[in-house]
Structures are given as C-alpha cells and as structure tokens.
Amino acid sequence: MTKTVWLFPGQGSQAVGMGADLKDLPAAQAKLARADEILGWSVLDVCRGEESQLARTLYTQPCLYAIASILVDALAEGNLKPDFVAGHSLGEYVALYAAGVFDFESGLRLVKRRAELMDTAEGGKMVALLGFDREKLQDFIDKTDGVVLANDNSDGQAVISGTPEAVDAVVASVKTKKAVALNVSGAFHSPLMAEAAQEFAALLEPIPFNDAAIPVLSNVDPTPCTEGAQLKERLVKQMTGSVRWREIMAKLPELGVEKAVEIGPGQVLAGLLKRGYSAIARENISSASDVAKVL
C-alpha cells in the first residue's frame, strides 16, 4: 500500500466559487445547513459572493474549514484513509477533524472564534519573503525585537510577523527576490497574539480532544502524534507559535510517505512540496467531482 498524507491548506488558498458542487453531495447538505446555523451566515453564499468578503479572516477560515471537512467526509465514505495528516495554520483544524480528534461542530465553533479573534487583531504586520539567505534572515530576526519567523514554509519562502517597525527593519536589512506585505491587521503566529491566544486557550480547555485515529503533524511540532491532550496543547501554542511547514515537509520522506493529497482549494501546499520533494506524488481534491474521480 502507498503510504499517504492528507494536507490541508490555510488562509490564502480561498477562491470565489470554491465548494460550489458540494451541495450535490447528500451527506454535505446537513453539514452545510448546520454550519450556517452556527455561523449565522451561509458558507456557500459567501463562497460565491464578493472576493473582498471571502478574503476577510472572519469568513475565510470558517469557509475553508467547512468545505475541506465535507471533502474529508466524502473521501471517508469511500473508505479512503491516509497514514498521516497535517494542515497549514487554519488547515490544522481540518487535520484534527480528519483524524477524529473532535467532531465537525466543535471544530467549526473553535474556528469561528479563532477567526473573530484574528479579525479584530490590531497593531501588527506580516510580510512574505521569497528568495533569501536563511541564515542572514534568522540573524536579523534574532537581533530585532518585536519580529519573528511566523511561517517557515520552505527553503525559499517565509513570512515574518511582528510590529510594523520591526518587520520593516528586517525587510530593509535582508536581500530578497520579493517581499510582499500581507493584507492582515494583526501579527499572526507571533507573541503579539498572546492576549488572543489566552482567550482562545480558555475556550479550548473544556472541549474534549479524542486520541487521533491518524497521526497528526502539528504546526508547532512536526513529529507525528495521536495523544489528544498533547494535540490540544500544540493547538493552544499555534496562535503565537511559528508554522514549521518546512520541517513538516522534511519529515514526510523520513516517514516513508510516497503520496500527498492536498484537500481544499488551490495547490499551494502541493507547489511547496513539488519544489522541495518532487519524488512524493501529489494530488489535489477541491470539489465533489474530484472526489468522484478517486472513488
């Protein structure tokens, strides 16, 4: 059997029209209806609406979670199951759902509150960097108060996060092929999210986390884990901790993974994997029609 990992993208992968054909899946209709009740708005309506609304954190995260979780359900109904799961930032919540750590509604409620906290965050800045000297970047980060490596995506792609002054200072000091300021108001995955993280941890505390049926590679710790309590602890740390995606990718060949299936819109994670680990076969499932093809 081919050893497989399911990967779940995070914010930035969304696209207008995503999930349009999920309404054709009988099993999806009940979950979409329940999602609309919990959120107070329609996932599919937002997904086929204005790009500006879908791109807002408040809506992006619940939409991505709902759509990817429904795709997971459809694959599971076809008796497909991976050997490992991992998700980038918001995608980690779908990974935990896919592994049976919590149910759909519990995950959606967590994502809803996470999105609200992040949507109202202020005073921070995030910049994506492409093509840089990793050692020099880390050196400047270490020397500059108020900035951290938020998303360590690959050898040539990263996101720094922190106060606007600190982020600008690092960008001015490090030679890059490209530096792009992200359209966010907060310094996500940095210590500046500590207050929001504390509130979120209190919300997480009473929610039961089952032991995972599938090992999960977490953002803050890329080692496979199935223990529910440990997975919850890792999730608490995620809001202020770095997304260690480069290390997650490096772990896959060590685990004998031969195939990666990116579940959700776009092929961001497959693209990162292709550049660094092309020997791992890649597949994308973003719609009901894609599910039909693999079943």
Query: Looking at the annotation, which residues are catalytic?
Result: 89, 189
Query: What are the φ/ψ torsions at residue 178 (nearest 5 degrees)?
Result: -160, 140
116 and 131 fall within a common domain: no
Q: Which domain holds residue 130?
A: 125-181
143 and 64 fall within a common domain: no
pLDDT of residue 162: 97
pLDDT of residue 217: 98
106 and 135 fall within a common domain: no
Q: What number is the average pLDDT over the span 66-84?
A: 96
151 and 200 fall within a common domain: no
Q: Round to the nearest angstrom and report the end-to-end CA distance of the chain.
A: 16
145 and 255 fall within a common domain: no
98 and 232 fall within a common domain: yes
Whichever domain contains 164, its CATH number is 3.30.70.250
Percent of the chain with pLDDT over 70: 100
Cβ burial, residue 177 (10 Å; 0-12/13-18/19+): exposed
Kindly tell me if the per-residue pLDDT of 280 is higher than 90: yes
Number of domains in the chain: 2
pLDDT of residue 84: 98
Q: What's CA 282's distance to the chain center, in Å?
A: 18
- Of the pLDDT bands very low, low, confident and very high (cuts 50, 70, 90), residue 184 is confident
- Of the pLDDT bands very low, low, confident and very high (cuts 50, 70, 90), residue 145 is very high
Q: What number is the average pLDDT over the span 268-295?
A: 94
115 and 131 fall within a common domain: no
Whichever domain contains 261, its CATH number is 3.40.366.10
Kindly tell me if the per-residue pLDDT of 275 is higher than 80: yes
203 and 158 fall within a common domain: no
- Of the pLDDT bands very low, low, confident and very high (cuts 50, 70, 90), residue 150 is very high
Q: What is the mean pLDDT of the chain?
A: 95
Q: What number is the average pLDDT over the span 253-280?
A: 96
Per-residue model confidence as pLDDT tens digits over 94-115: 999 999 999 999 999 999 999 9
Percent of the chain with pLDDT over 90: 94
- Of the pLDDT bands very low, low, confident and very high (cuts 50, 70, 90), residue 1 is confident
Q: What number is the average pLDDT over the span 155-167?
A: 96
83 and 224 fall within a common domain: yes
Kindly tell me if the per-residue pLDDT of 15 is higher than 90: yes
Q: Which residues have C-beta within 8 Å of that of residue 241, sequence separation ≥ 6?
A: 189, 219, 220
pLDDT of residue 24: 82
Query: 100-127 burial by CB neighbour count: b if 16+ within 10 A, else e?
Result: ebbebebbbbbbbbbbebbbebeebbbb
153 and 274 fall within a common domain: no
pLDDT of residue 27: 76
Stretch (H or E) spanning 30: helix 26-39
pLDDT of residue 26: 77
Kindly tell me if the per-residue pLDDT of 183 is higher than 90: no
pLDDT of residue 104: 97
Q: What number is the average pLDDT over the span 255-284?
A: 96
How is residue 289 written in tokens? 């029609």
104 and 223 fall within a common domain: yes
Kindly tell me if the per-residue pLDDT of 241 is higher than 90: yes
Q: Are 98 and 49 in contact (CB under 8 A)?
A: no
Per-residue model confidence as pLDDT tens digits over 191-231: 999 999 999 999 999 999 999 999 999 999 999 999 999 99
13 and 140 fall within a common domain: no
